[in-house]
Structures are given as C-alpha cells and as structure tokens.
Structure 1
C-alpha cells in the first residue's frame, strides 16, 4: 500500500482527540509588584471567577496565530511579542472535556494596558503573589483576592518561576522599562519580580559589569533631588 492509498482510507475518528487551547499570560509591574491581565468569566464553567485571556485553537490556524488572535479579541491589544511558556495537560484541568492548553507569555509595560482596560470592563490588572514554588495568588489593587479559574494559578506560578530564572542571563526585565531609564527604575523592576530587596551598590555594579547598559549622558527631569543619569538597554552581541 502506498502513502496516498493509506491516507485515503485513514479514519481520524477512530481515535479520541483532545481539544487544544491557548492562554495568554500578559505580565507587568505595577506599584512595585508583578501584575497580570485577567478577565472575569461571564459563563460556566467557573462563572464569575477570573481567568487568563484564552480560547480554543481553530482547526485551520497555528498556535502562534491563535495566540495573536486571542491577543486582539480577548486582551484587546493590537500587538505584543509573545512566546510559548509551557504546555498544561492535566487530564482534569477543565471540567468540560479533555483540553490541553499552551500558555504564551509576555512582559508588557503597564502603560500599554491602558487602552485595553478602558475598552473592556471585564479586564483587570491583578497583582501577583507567589512562593518559591507553587501556584500564584492574584489580588486587585484594593486587596481583594481573586478566585482563579481552571489551573490558571499554576500557570501563573510557572510564569513567575520562569521569569525569575531568566533575570540573571537575559535582558527580559528591560521589556518593562521605557527606552531611557535610571538604574533606580531598573532595580525597582528586579525587586518586584524577585520579591526581595537588593543591595544598591552591588546591583548597580553587576548591571554595569554585564555590558547591557549604555549611558546616554542625559539625566532624568522633574526630580526633586539630584537627577539620575539615564541609560539605554544595549543587547549583548
């Protein structure tokens, strides 16, 4: 039997097939704490709980295409650079049926969420709390803890661990900063992600020694004290 004949007689319905979904973990730092974009669910299951923007992958689209479609439709953001984080496939992760979810991850400046939050009242930027390992907890600015749908607390825990792990060998933190920034602002981002205070002289020496920072000669404006020098991220070659 040649391949053409085999494919013609092949019966896909002979095998059970799980559905595939994409969930977006769009993170930022807000008021010194890591934060994530969540949507309040208006239907079962988990009606009224909070979830990551997500949806099913269409039969005719790739995972990346689905991620960018959901970014526009559910997160109300025109564009963002997202990358695959992890695949979540626990058998009972969704009470409806067997669904495998591919989580996509991005770090985005808090200001970039303004239009989405204004356009969609069901969206919120929630602050995250996570231990060294395990699921994350999410709270609104006023302190209310949010009930997270599905296994999205686990997804957020994995995202935070991945983010913390990448800080030391990548420039991922610079995605949360404007083009020009101070060393103080950079340390604030690191402390928010790591949830710990860092020694100021040691941190600055380590950052400068890596060769990631290019001094601009300019200084911040509007400071009530001696203006700090502004730097630009210089990706390693």
Structure 2
C-alpha cells in the first residue's frame, strides 16, 4: 500500500519539488497552499491518482486540520507531513526592521509550522509516522539582527523536541536545513545555488531511511 505525504507550501519551490519526488517514488501526496490554481496544475502534472489539492492558509489551524483530515480520508491515513511553508523578510535588523513584516513571518514560520505539527500528530501517532520541518542554515548560526534567522532557530529547537516526543510512539522527526536555494523566495534567480530538487532529495532520504533510523537533520549547502 502506498504511503501518504502531506506537504504545506506545496505550490512552488521546495514543496512542489518534494511532491514530484515523492510521487515518483510511489507516495501519495496531499498538496496544501493558498494558490488553488498552482496546486491544481501540479495535480494534473503528477496525476490525480497520486496527488490531491487541499487549498488553505497555513496560518490557520482549522484550515490545516481540515486539509489533512481530507487527505487521510482519501488515502486511508497519513504517513508523513512536511511543514514547509515559510517566508522571509526584507531585513533591516531590529532597529530598521518592519514589525508588521515580523508578525506575518512569525505567524507563518513559527505558528504555521506548529499548526502542521498539531494537525498531523494524531495521524502520525496512528501510523508511527514522520514529521519533516523546513529549517535553514540560517537557523544554525547567528546573523546580525536577523528575525528570519531567529524563526529558523525555533524550527531547529522545536524539531529536536518533537523528535523526543515522537520517539515515544515510534515516530520520527527531521529538520531539513538548506543554505541558499534558488526559489521564488528571492526576487532574482540564483542558478549557482541549491535547487529545490536538491532539498527534495534530502527530504526523501530522511523519509525513506530504514524505520530504525531517525535522520534528525539534513544539512545542505551549495558548493559555491
């Protein structure tokens, strides 16, 4: 029986690349993001027998609960969830930063990730499943005045805590920590940096590791 992966931020970048990679390896994928048109296009690309679109807002716990329940009903359960949705900021440090931008970023990068964990946990408990979180190389070092980096420090800390919690029922938790990735996250293309497919490969490495092995972090950096 095919395993099932729920992905937030699935409409582009790392989320879409992971959906393609998972489907290629025989997984069913539930695709969650705000952009219904992009999700529908990705379902058409992958195939409706393997993928389903569940549009919603990652900052809404109710939206995520409804979406993952729909995926579980369609495929008979959920074996893994990828809390991938996130956003950055324009910088400016503490003195020059934009508090409204901070609030939006924290709602998505911190609360949105918490909502994925909360919405998925009962399903993952039942399946002894796997939770994957998108962290960042920025969450492993100090960057002058970076609030974005601080949100990713949260992801890394919480990911370790989740790994301990999930260990009690045979589940696993992995933080994916990439350096710069060429995604719509940036205004200009960065073709010499990591590609979304590189990060998707890291996600699949963790998900397909032997059940006795919990790959708690995958740290990826571009060569250049």
TM-score scaled by length of structure 1: 0.26
Greater helix content = 2
Larger Rg: 1
